[in-house]
Structure 1
Amino acid sequence: MLKSQDLSSRILSFSLRLAGIFAAQENCFQYLQQGELLPTLFGEAGPLGGAAWTAPTVRSGWVQGLRTLARHPSALRFLAACGAVDTIFSLQGDSSLFVASAAGQLLVHVLDLAMRGPAEGRRGPRARDWPACAQKIVCHIEDSLCSAATPQVTQALNVLTTVFGHCRGLWTQGLWVRLSPLVARLLEKDPVPASHSLVDLLLSVARSGPRGAAGGVGRSSSVLSSDRGLWETLAQTLSHLSPTQAGPLALGILKLQDCPQALRTQAFGILLQPLACVLEAAAQAPGTPGLLEGAAGDSMTVDTLLSSKSACVGLLCCALAHLGLLQPLPQRPSPWPQVPLLGAVVTILRLCSGSAAPTSDVGGRLCAILVGCGRVQRAALDFLGALSQGTGPQELVTQVFSILLEYLMSPESSSMVLKKAFQATLRWLLSSSKTPGCCDLDPHTQQFLRELLPVLQKRLCSPCWEVRDSGLEFLTQMTRQWGGRTGFRQALLASEVPELTRQLLRDPESYVRASAVTATGQLSGWGLRATPASPERPGAQQESLLGELLHILSTDSEGFPRRAAMQVCTEWLRDGRADVAEDPERFVAGVLQAASRDLDWEVRAQGLELALVFLEQLLGQRGSRCPYSVGLPETAPPGVLAQALQVLCRVQLFEFAFRALFDCDRPVAQKSCDLLLFLRAKAASCGSLQEAGDSPSVASVEATLQRWQAGEQGQPLGYLEPGAIVAVLRSVDLEGLRDTLAESSDHVEKSPQSLLQDVLAAVGVLGENEADCY
């Protein structure tokens, strides 16, 4: 390969990676060194000085090969001797983002390897005792931090972020002591260079726990938390960054557990300032309560909000998103300003819809910027949903429901805004119904529900399929939670929603059909049918629905509705629905017949789940939900098991399960293997069950299974006796198959042997020395 003059970049890249894999092993490293192949590959005499280096794939292969080679104990001396470290420095600014990222990670890896030995058993070596390779890397980082070029500062900060995020040695404390003054000096520049990377670094340092010390694993406090300089640097950074840049840092600070209270208060104020500005600008009366003492909107935040639409939208969306992430955390600030936050987010939504009437110039400009802004609407609705976990005065909750209804009714609401509005409405409905000692809906919720259902009815008829889909998802979730509530049942049955849901089973959009199947199954499960069944045939409509689901399962051209139909059928069987319980054998046979022919692997896997539920019910274990714990099976009487096996044969479960055992999709094969192991364990507990071990039917089945495993799928099994089934289950190596299916392929794909096999296979197919490398 090295002697070839017209070598392709793919082959050269592949060879560099392969050489790195070989060189990580002692005997290969010595062999390649003796032949002077390593310097030729990774030194200046190799691809570095040739035209091939212009190809990003070659540079990437060089970095990846060195990363693997670095595992060898002598790798550091080799890297220093061949000048590879300088090349890694230059690749940090590579035009290919993949190469630049890999070079930065390799630099951290080399630094960690260089410091790992000297730092063992010590608090951390002094800087003058660091190895030469580490000194060189740290000096390069220092030079980059002092550079006037922002890209070089960014590269240094990114390397340090990776160091403190991934390196486990105590030497990192000495590194921070040495470099923290240079990091703090970046704040003196205007604007602060590489602000995003600076925030990432400071948070990485603050989170780095004493992983090498006893009891330190898993702590979020910093190994440097006793160093007041770190907290002072964080406070200064919050003050020097713009409101948009400071938001991620403020959120990260508030997630820390051991953080000074003054810094937490400062960080929380940063997040609240945009909403405080909105409240002040849209206040209808003087004296409106603020969000938090000291968190009033400052002039810089107001200037940012009013500078441009993009700046205003970006700042508000970030503030809403950060507060939404903070709200459910146990370490969120206390007291939590629930009421002012609710007021602020309702105000933002009114500004966006144009229904607000601000009295100040700032409020008017904000309204002009935000009206019709879908991005802010989505962020505000998300945060409004998160605030449903708190409490608020009834008049403010009424305002929340009012603004939600306004958005759900508005023809200006986009499909994504409507989806967010449905989600927020559901969260507030469920939260408001959690009244202690109350088994039905309170009057306020009941009134809102009466106003909401006509809106939902309208949205289910929307020409936009995304809106119909969101409405069905909302209906499904609401029915799942409130299906037994009298007030909800009465309001729903008085509307046309159930009938519209039934009609949407034939919607032209597959996503909508799938959601309609799920919603219809949920409604039917609670007895919320579209129209009452006739007295002569009380189950006629339910039979029709069951037939419609089987029709979808058998004929729908898209996978989503068929998956939903399978899930509904499984739930009906598991719940013992009356219409299914009348003839479960016929029901299961029809569903399994459709599932066995389905091309969608998820449908086939769900069919096996239905088969498992049916098996549990036949064995009288409807409460068991640990079917794959085959070590200690519950004993089933031989008569019960024999009858169960006969029923399973009649519904052709074994035809389906054994074919699935050799399915090309691993999840299906794994589920079938677990099912058959469970059944075999049950059979093993019944020693008196007669086994037809040498009958012709057993030999025929085993031969058929062998052909199926080889890829021939034509011949069916036919009807089998229970004894023959038990014999086949005991003869098939299900444990070995399960182990094979559970084994990852990484141990093959990433080995040198596998790489060489790929090379040889490609050469054999192509007839030339070229491999299609990955």
Structure 2
Amino acid sequence: MDPECSQLLPALCAALADPRRPVVDDTCLEKLLDWFKTVTEAGSSLLLLQDSPCLVELLFQVLKPQDLSPGVLSFSLRLAGTLAAQEDCFQYLQQGELLPGLFGEAGPLGGAAWTAPTVRSGWIRGLRSLAQHPSALHFLADCGALDTVFSLQGDPSLFVASAAGQLLGHVLGLSMRDQAEGHRSPQACDWPACAQRIVSHIEESLRSSATPQVTQALNVLTTTFGYCHSPRTHVLWAQLSPHVACLLEKDPVPAAHSLVDLLLSVARSPALSSDCDLWEMLAQTLGRLSPAQAGPLALGVLKLQDCPQTLRGQAFDVLLQPLACVWKAAAQDPGSPGLLAGPEGDAAVVDALLSSRAACVGLLCQTLAHLELLQPLPQRPSPWPQAPLLGAAVTVLRFCNGSAIPASDVGGRLCAILAGCVRVQRAALDFLGTLSAGTGPPELVPQVFAVLLDHLESPDSSPTVLKKAFQATLRWLLSSPKPPGGCDLDPHTQLFLRELLPVLQKRLCSPCWEVRDSGLEFLAQVARRWAGQAGFRRALLASEVPELTEQLLRDPESYVRASAVTAVGQLSSWGLHATPAGPGLPEGPQKSLLLDLLHVLSTDSEGFPRRAVMQVFTEWLRDGHAEVAEDTERFVARVLQVASRDLDWEVRAQGLELALVFLAQTLGQPGSHCPYAVAPAEEIPPGRLAQALRAFCRVQLFEFAFRALFDCDRPVAQKSCDLLLFLRDKAAPYDSSQEAGGSPDVASVEAALQRWRAGEQGQPLGPLEPEAAVAVLRSLDLEGLRGTLAESSDHMEKSPRSLLQDVLATVSVLGDNEADCY
């Protein structure tokens, strides 16, 4: 331990043990526990106690009848557990009867403080930290703590109840692990006494008619099998699985969700992956649970690596049944392969779907979410029923928007239940978008586009549904196969885009800002992909979308303005942003947007649009945008001048990114996204280097980077440091007779840098010559500064010494000037 911390520790312990000095900040105590845990993990707990007897004195003070705060008492219990996690330190504390006094019946259990959940939680967590070795297991059996832990499983505080169950699972797993390391006897009677008591308690709870007790037992076992993968786990499962199987004979099955968690935890255990009885129990459970309860189990089974094929098939049928019922309830072909389930399963699922609106919506949303998770996994069922799933997803969406044709009474009731259901629409659109990654029959693609267009056109679609519809549409557009002949779009996709543009135009005029924002995001993505395709260009320029997009630069909502900036920037990159000169001139002269975006950067009151402008400008510079190429230096100088005054650190950081692109291009590395990445060094001809340095001075790149080097926001300073290090490396061959530190220009620059470092950012550098800039660049300790910036900004405040001072400050032990509060 640090000597300074050792000196502060006695005062800290004395303050904590004094009820007249309450600790007002429990956060400090949490940080203090984290520090003690770090100290004990790095060395001997016993040595720590021998060097700091004040810690033992603190723990003994806790045993005395006094009014310590619940926070300090909880801290002391957890500290004792942390120290006793090492067996030699455990024995040391046992000699003084300290641990029985803290965790036994004579401890805080009978005191008034026990009514505080914080104290009960600290008691359990202290035992959880302590239970790391065989001596701790014997202690738990002898000190009478287990009965208290059993009772705390039903504590009114969920945190305490959960911690109690976690402790029992941890102790049971530790017992099996230690026995497996000692000998391989398969007898449960060889387990430690505490483990045998826990198993007996679990057996009794599983036989109980009270669902909460069954739930507690299942949760303990789930923790055990998740924590311990010892070969001994098969002995535990063999003893308890009959009791678990008996739960399936009850109607309804109690604690179904906890039962599912347990069975999946057991199935993932390497020691039980070949247990045929386990797979049979999983199959039985799938048939006994309700459709909503069976869904998570079916998904978990399908994710298992070593699952028998018959069980995988059963699980997939269970997962598909709700969609199969919806599919059959509409006027669909009943012979579609790969989706329809048996009549017995159908009846139960139909009952669940029609029992109430909430049950129907919940079951469908769960099913769609599970299938969405399963679709990209390598262990998904094969063959994957892409066509039926597409048809089912489209059918669900048609039930929601009222365009489905019921084929039965069930279909009619589903129409009434699902009409306008936003939750189901969102889930179905997400799933439909995921299905775009698969290969399906081409004849279904028009149906997909049609239902997507219906949702985008519908005046009843909510903003969140429209956002999901735009996202799904984009995914299907991006997955469309390219036709032969070099055309980017197949005829179906071209037709769909032509039909979609009027809808997009309407959505850009929506009174709801979320809808306008979603439309702009979609437009930017579509333009990025197809703006070079002739058919798309003609359709876009024939619409009012470009003009509406430009008008939204002045939208009252900042998110919309930011999305408009991105969309306009993307359109302008392809010459699509301006109004055509006339109906017969779809490729008429374009209007410049550079001044409009500079205006946004200079005057917008919100940071999002300004950040978007900087990103657009950086892309324009990187891609050689026509307006930028006319006078690149003037463009860069104007942007850097505005960005340097911006109060948003992300704008300034993006300004450095733009400067980096300009630097790389000027030095002969066009298109480089990260020129200071590790790469073979390329020597720059002296003439080009001198010319580039003069250009950097003209656009005031040096001033922008030097100023950013002392930015109050660390990411900006780090980025500037990286840029200047790269520039210094490239400027290494540059030779100048004016590099002496006594040069007037160099002296004035260094003086300005000193003022900037001190926080005086007002005075500019003014005109700067390359020689002075390079001299200052070489004089800076950029490596040292980068190291300093790499440290956490609060590394001083989070030091152990500072932490101890903060705790002492909260109990008014130190003077105001001595505390290092943060």
TM-score, scaled relative to structure 1: 0.88
Q: Are the counterparts in 1 of residues 622 and 671 from structure 2 also a CA contact under 8 Å?
A: no
SS in 2 for 1:258: coil
Q: Are the counterparts in 1 of residues 661 and 673 from structure 2 also a CA contact under 8 Å?
A: no
Task: Choose which of 570, 579, 593 in structure 2 pairs with 1:531.
Answer: 579
Are 1:53 and 2:101 an aligned pair? no
Identify the residue that residue 567 of structure 1 maps to in structure 2: 615
Deviation at 1:506, TM superposition (A): 0.5
Deviation at 1:299, TM superposition (A): 0.8
Identify the residue that residue 381 of structure 2 maps to in structure 1: 333
Are 1:399 and 2:442 an aligned pair? no
Distance 2:97 2:784 in 1: 46
Identify the residue that residue 288 of structure 2 maps to in structure 1: 240
Task: Choose which of 242, 265, 283 in structure 2 pairs with 1:181.
Answer: 242
Deviation at 1:113, TM superposition (A): 4.2
Corresponding letter in the other structure for 2:200:
C
Deviation at 1:337, TM superposition (A): 2.1
Q: Are the counterparts in 2 of residues 619 and 636 from structure 1 also a CA contact under 8 Å?
A: yes
Are 1:172 and 2:226 an aligned pair? no
Q: Give a deviation string over 1:123-148, Cα, whole Å, max 9, x none.
A: 68643333334334443333333333
Task: Choose which of 611, 615, 633 in structure 1 pairs with 2:663.
Answer: 615
Identify the residue that residue 429 of structure 2 maps to in structure 1: 381
Give the % identical residues: 78
Identify the residue that residue 214 of structure 1 maps to in structure 2: none
Q: Are the counterparts in 1 of residues 541 and 580 from structure 2 also a CA contact under 8 Å?
A: no
Identify the residue that residue 723 of structure 2 maps to in structure 1: 675
Task: Choose which of 580, 602, 605 in structure 2 pairs with 1:554.
Answer: 602
Between stretches 232-241 and 731-740, larger displacement belongs to: 731-740
Deviation at 1:588, TM superposition (A): 2.0
Deviation at 1:456, TM superposition (A): 0.9
What does residue range 118-197 of structure 1 map to in structure 2 within 5 Å? 118-120=179-181, 126-197=187-258
Q: Are the counterparts in 1 of residues 546 and 577 from structure 2 also a CA contact under 8 Å?
A: yes
Corresponding letter in the other structure for 1:154:
T
Gaps of 5+ in 1: 209-221
Identify the residue that residue 630 of structure 2 maps to in structure 1: 582
Are 1:657 and 2:705 an aligned pair? yes
Distance 2:743 2:407 in 1: 92
Distance 1:42 1:701 in 2: 67
Identify the residue that residue 289 of structure 1 maps to in structure 2: 336
Distance 1:55 1:700, change over 3 A: farther
Corresponding letter in the other structure for 2:68:
L
Q: Give a deviation string over 1:12-55, Cα, whole Å, max 9, x none.
A: 34444455555557897677666665554444444333222322
Distance 1:3 1:524, change over 3 A: closer
Q: Are the counterparts in 1 of residues 399 and 418 from structure 2 also a CA contact under 8 Å?
A: yes
Distance 2:791 2:216 in 1: 39
Distance 1:616 1:279 in 2: 58
Q: Are the counterparts in 2 of residues 235 and 263 from structure 1 also a CA contact under 8 Å?
A: yes
Q: Are the counterparts in 2 of residues 321 and 383 from structure 1 also a CA contact under 8 Å?
A: yes
Distance 2:775 2:129 in 1: 50
Number of corresponding residues: 754
SS in 2 for 1:389: coil
Corresponding letter in the other structure for 2:603:
T
Between stretches 158-167 and 199-208, larger displacement belongs to: 158-167
SS in 2 for 1:188: coil
Identify the residue that residue 307 of structure 1 maps to in structure 2: 355
Q: Give a deviation string over 1:589-640, Cα, whole Å, max 9, x none.
A: 2222333333333222222222221221122112444444358644334444
Identify the residue that residue 23 of structure 2 maps to in structure 1: none
Identify the residue that residue 518 of structure 1 maps to in structure 2: 566
Distance 1:40 1:420, change over 3 A: same
What does residue range 248-327 of structure 1 map to in structure 2 within 5 Å? 248-283=296-331, 287-292=334-339, 294-295=341-342, 298-327=346-375
Distance 1:723 1:190, change over 3 A: farther
Task: Choose which of 139, 163, 170 in structure 2 pairs with 1:102.
Answer: 163
Distance 1:695 1:703 in 2: 12
Corresponding letter in the other structure for 1:205:
V
Q: Are the counterparts in 2 of residues 119 and 125 from structure 1 also a CA contact under 8 Å?
A: no
Are 1:225 and 2:286 an aligned pair? no
Deviation at 1:575, TM superposition (A): 0.8
Task: Choose which of 408, 411, 415 in structure 2 pairs with 1:360.
Answer: 408
Distance 1:624 1:112, change over 3 A: farther
Q: Give a deviation string over 1:357-397, Cα, whole Å, max 9, x none.
A: 32421211111111121111222222222222334445432
Between stretches 371-380 and 164-173, larger displacement belongs to: 164-173
Deviation at 1:468, TM superposition (A): 0.8
Q: Are the counterparts in 2 of residues 636 and 686 from structure 1 also a CA contact under 8 Å?
A: no
Task: Choose which of 640, 658, 662 in structure 2 pairs with 1:592.
Answer: 640
Q: Give a deviation string over 1:721-758, Cα, whole Å, max 9, x none.
A: 44444454445444444344445689888886554232
Q: Are the counterparts in 1 of residues 802 and 821 from structure 2 also a CA contact under 8 Å?
A: no
Identify the residue that residue 212 of structure 1 maps to in structure 2: none
CA RMSD of aligned residues (A): 3.5
User: Bigger relative contact order, structure 1 or 2, given CA contacts below 8 A and separation 6+?
Assistant: 2
Are 1:509 and 2:570 an aligned pair? no
Deviation at 1:289, TM superposition (A): 2.6
Q: Are the counterparts in 2 of residues 554 and 594 from structure 1 also a CA contact under 8 Å?
A: yes
Distance 1:557 1:223, change over 3 A: farther
Distance 1:169 1:391 in 2: 43
SS in 2 for 1:298: helix
Task: Choose which of 481, 491, 502 in structure 1 pairs with 2:539.
Answer: 491
Distance 2:744 2:319 in 1: 76
Distance 1:27 1:138, change over 3 A: closer
Deviation at 1:121, TM superposition (A): 7.7
Distance 1:17 1:443 in 2: 69
Between stretches 509-518 and 370-379, larger displacement belongs to: 370-379
Q: Give a deviation string over 1:266-300, Cα, whole Å, max 9, x none.
A: 11111111122122222367x54354465566211
Distance 1:354 1:459 in 2: 21
Distance 1:773 1:674, change over 3 A: closer
Q: Are the counterparts in 2 of residues 433 and 445 from structure 1 also a CA contact under 8 Å?
A: no
Deviation at 1:487, TM superposition (A): 0.9
Gaps of 5+ in 2: 1-15, 20-65
SS in 2 for 1:668: helix
SS in 2 for 1:463: coil
Distance 1:250 1:652, change over 3 A: same
Corresponding letter in the other structure for 2:213:
Q
Task: Choose which of 447, 455, 458 in structure 2 pairs with 1:410.
Answer: 458
Q: Are the counterparts in 2 of residues 276 and 291 from structure 1 also a CA contact under 8 Å?
A: no
TM-score, scaled relative to structure 2: 0.83
Deviation at 1:190, TM superposition (A): 1.6
Identify the residue that residue 12 of structure 1 maps to in structure 2: 73
Deviation at 1:3, TM superposition (A): 6.0
Q: Are the counterparts in 2 of residues 317 and 379 from structure 1 also a CA contact under 8 Å?
A: yes
Are 1:348 and 2:396 an aligned pair? yes
Distance 1:554 1:343, change over 3 A: same
Distance 1:602 1:283 in 2: 54
Distance 1:450 1:324 in 2: 30
Q: Are the counterparts in 1 of residues 174 and 228 from structure 2 also a CA contact under 8 Å?
A: no
Distance 1:445 1:302, change over 3 A: same
Q: Are the counterparts in 2 of residues 272 and 291 from structure 1 also a CA contact under 8 Å?
A: no
Deviation at 1:198, TM superposition (A): 1.6
Distance 1:602 1:108, change over 3 A: farther
Q: Give a deviation string over 1:463-517, Cα, whole Å, max 9, x none.
A: 1111111111111111111111111111111111011001011111111111111
Deviation at 1:459, TM superposition (A): 0.8
Q: Are the counterparts in 1 of residues 233 and 271 from structure 2 also a CA contact under 8 Å?
A: no
Q: Are the counterparts in 2 of residues 440 and 487 from structure 1 also a CA contact under 8 Å?
A: no
